[in-house]
Amino acid sequence: MKLPKFTKYFYTEGKAKLTYFLIGLSCFVFFVEVFIGLIYGTGFLEEFVNDFGFSLNNVLNQRLWVFITSIFLHASPEHLLLNMLALFFFGRIVEIEMGWKKYLLIFFVASLLGDLGILLTTLLGYSSATVSTIGISGAVFGLMGTAMLVKPFDFVFYPYLIPVPVILVALLYTLYNVAAFVLVLAGGLTTNISYISHIGGLAGGMFFGFKQEGQKKGLMVLLVLLFLLVAVPLFYFIFQYLELANYAAAISQIFK
């Protein structure tokens, strides 16, 4: 019996072992964090995260291991769960389509670009040099950027419990992160989320997606994405206007 297309996300036949390894490694590191907090207390755990998380202060103090260690640290179970779900869906697409070597390259290059974005915003005074950033999301956004170009219409169940095309998920997250980052720059938003690392990772992943698919297909996908960027808000305002118009018509009928 032929299985539905979306079942390939659950029947891998060993094709996405690196994705599963990275998920397992991230979960193991988080359990180590929990153990440290329980045994040595939250104060020691905070010091541990500051030493192994990414920050300008750590880079200046030559703690260059933070470029790697910060990727696999997470702040909470929710933070870990959301990142692991995203890694599962986007990582599998890229690994199955492009192989584990390119996958690993995209993973670390995207994470590095995210870190460089953090350094830039820190130097510009928009974030603290001593506050450490942790999490795998920069790399995950890189994988999403690649996946949206190599398999734009494959379905994922992230972040919703229904199948959604990769390109639509990329659209929503691009809009959200760019808007949030602009608000941070404008001083209208205070957050502990590093939006710039997401944007940097996404840009890096899209670069590899272009290399894999070529300029023609890549530009076609970007045109579709740009169309959606314009169309989604436009249709929303149109529907809002029509709804208001219907209300106005109904009220005018009442008072006739």
Distance CA 45, CA 213 (A): 44
Based on C-alpha coordinates, what's the Rg of the chain? 21
Can you give the pLDDT of all 256 residues of the chain as single tens digits? Answer: 454 555 454 444 557 899 999 999 999 999 999 999 999 999 999 999 999 999 999 999 999 999 999 999 999 999 999 999 999 999 999 999 999 999 999 999 999 999 999 999 999 888 889 999 999 999 999 999 999 899 988 888 887 778 888 988 888 888 888 888 888 888 766 677 889 999 999 999 999 988 887 766 666 777 776 676 666 666 666 666 655 555 445 445 555 5
pLDDT of residue 74: 96
What tokens does 134 get? 């942790």
For residue 164, what is the enclosing H or E element?
Answer: strand 164-165
Domains of the chain, each with CATH number or no CATH:
13-254 (1.20.1540.10)
Extended strands (E) in the chain: 155-156, 164-165
Q: What is the DSSP letter of 137?
A: H
Q: What pLDDT does residue 252 have?
A: 54
Collapsing DSSP states into helix, strand and coil, what is residue 113? helix
Quickly count: other Cβ atoms within 10 Å of residue 21's Cβ.
11
- pTM for this prediction: 0.81
CB within 8 A of 144, min separation 6: which ones? Answer: 86, 90, 166, 169, 170, 173, 202, 205
Q: Half-sphere exposure of 232 toward its Cβ, with a 13 Å CA cutoff? A: 10
